[in-house]
Amino acid sequence: MRTLHEGYFTAGLVADPELARAIDGELKRQREGIELIASENLVSRCVLEAQGSILTNKTVEGAPWRRYYGGAHYADAIESLAIDRARRLFACRFANVQPHSGSNANAGVFLGLLRLGDTILSMDVAAGGHISHGHPATLTGRDYRIVAYGVNRETERVDLDAVRALAHDCRPRMIVAGGSAYPRGLDFAALRAIADSVDAWLMVDMAHVAGLVAAGLYPDPLPHAHVVTTTTYKSLRGARGGMALWNDESLSARINAGVFPGVQGSVMLHAVAGKAACLGEALRPEFALYQRAALANARAMAKALAEQGVRIVTGGTDTTLLLADLSPLGLSGDIAAKALERAGLAVNKNLIPFDTRSPESPSGLRLSSNAGAARGFGVAEFERIAGWIGRILKAPDDDASIAAVRAEVRALCADYPIY
């Protein structure tokens, strides 16, 4: 009896035309549009193959060389490789590469180091923090008592005096630093001193700046934080997922158990292989050049947008992302993002600090150079992109202008082909 349909081991996606059509459509979208969303990037063919490999068939649980299931020799080698590379890249002693996402890395660390109901002092989402740091809609927001710090109204930057005052007031068990829409550097030594003064853990979530940290272009949290978490698919330009990194051996058992079995089950070995691949790439000298280019590109884009009347939150950026305040143009982020998408420019609407509008229709846009720099765009290309954005923002309903920009975007993308 034939238990497998024809082509089961050989045919590939052509066996499922409905699905193949959608994936082809997405490939075309990526090829012909400019990706400016900060949580995205363009991975290498090597990462793509590792993540799409037969490793998807293997189930392993627990730590390498101490698995519950057999037949794990290669799985152990792959996960060990990812761990070793993460440790080398960030010059730290320990790494857990299993978290399925950045949120899982955070939840695992919380579970490992905190008790139910403990207080976490983390950055307000409205000020640029991330929902996985205790937003009420998440499990962590329900399990812990969350106190939020924001940014200073004048500088739009984290105000360490305010964080210190809040910490002394709420006596947190953990302080969380890092966010998803915060374009500036952070003083991790000062944050650690604040954490020490109230006997709290310091966790730094470097999801948006991990690539810059690896390249030495952003303050390194690892000498200061008790534990650092990150995603691997944003500025690290790699596989989907997260990691936790730390130096203190006495935390290892708690962090590892927090991740598994704390918040997740078996390892996504294909994703771990993708992490090994991107970490290997990040250890090469070209990666620092990529990060340097991405940073210069983001700064050039910020400057060019400012020249067109967009207000750049904090006046610039120390990272590959920037936050644009559209209120001087009398425009909201949702309307702007929709118009830009029609022109082939993918961005996301975003709250700005002290936003007077709503999360659904905020005042800002978040923009990033990650994917454009991976594609090979330089400062000149990002200045052109900023020019197109300015043109759309001034006339978001002008179909002719959107079509004209769409054509220019397509032409630029054709000059920088992917895959």
Ligand X SMILES: *Cc1c(COP(=O)(O)O)cnc(C)c1O
Binding positions for ligand X, rule: CB under 6 A: 39, 101-103, 130, 132, 178-180, 205, 207-208, 231, 242
Shortest distance in whole angstroms from residue 132 CB to ligand X: 5
Tell me whether residue 297 or residue 348 sits nearer to ligand X (CB atom): 348
Which helix or strand (DSSP H or E) is residue 244 part of?
strand 242-246
Tell me whether residue 124 or residue 205 sits nearer to ligand X (CB atom): 205
The whole-angstrom distance between residue 105's C-alpha and the CA centroid of its chain comes to 12
Closest CA to 90 of 203, 243, 195: 243
Total Cβ atoms within 10 A of residue 91: 12
Half-sphere exposure of 180 (CA within 13 A, CB side): 22
Residue carrying structure tokens 């660390």: 109
Tell me whether residue 207 or residue 282 sits nearer to ligand X (CB atom): 207
Tell me whether residue 43 or residue 207 sits nearer to ligand X (CB atom): 207
Tell me whether residue 89 or residue 107 sits nearer to ligand X (CB atom): 107
Tell me whether residue 263 or residue 305 sits nearer to ligand X (CB atom): 263
The helix-helix angle for 379-394 and 333-342 (nearest 10°) equals 120
Which residues fall within 8 angstroms of residue 305, CB to CB, at 6 or more apart?
Answer: 312, 322, 324, 367, 386, 389, 390
List the alpha helices (DSSP H) in 343-396: 370-375, 379-394
Shortest distance in whole angstroms from residue 128 CB to ligand X: 9
The whole-angstrom distance between residue 155's C-alpha and the CA centroid of its chain comes to 24
Burial of 272 (0-12, 13-18, 19+ CB in 10 A): buried
Tell me whether residue 43 or residue 72 sits nearer to ligand X (CB atom): 43
Quote the radius of gyration of the chain (alpha carbons, Å).
22
Shortest distance in whole angstroms from residue 131 CB to ligand X: 8
Residue 267 backbone dihedrals phi, psi, to 5 degrees: -75, 140
Shortest distance in whole angstroms from residue 100 CB to ligand X: 8
Using CA atoms, how far apart are residues 281 and 377, in angstroms rounded to an integer?
A: 19
Residue carrying structure tokens 């690290």: 236
Shortest distance in whole angstroms from residue 182 CB to ligand X: 8
3-class secondary structure, 181: coil
Tell me whether residue 239 or residue 310 sits nearer to ligand X (CB atom): 239
Shortest distance in whole angstroms from residue 350 CB to ligand X: 12
Tell me whether residue 64 or residue 179 sits nearer to ligand X (CB atom): 179
Shortest distance in whole angstroms from residue 416 CB to ligand X: 25
The whole-angstrom distance between residue 195's C-alpha and the CA centroid of its chain comes to 24
Shortest distance in whole angstroms from residue 180 CB to ligand X: 3
Residue 158 backbone dihedrals phi, psi, to 5 degrees: -60, 130
Tell me whether residue 103 or residue 314 sits nearer to ligand X (CB atom): 103
Shortest distance in whole angstroms from residue 300 CB to ligand X: 23
Using CA atoms, how far apart are residues 255 and 95, in angstroms rounded to an integer?
A: 10
- Record the tokens describing residue 165, joined without a space: 């005052």
| Length of the chain counted residue by residue | 419
Shortest distance in whole angstroms from residue 17 CB to ligand X: 30
Using CA atoms, how far apart are residues 354 and 349, in angstroms rounded to an integer?
A: 15
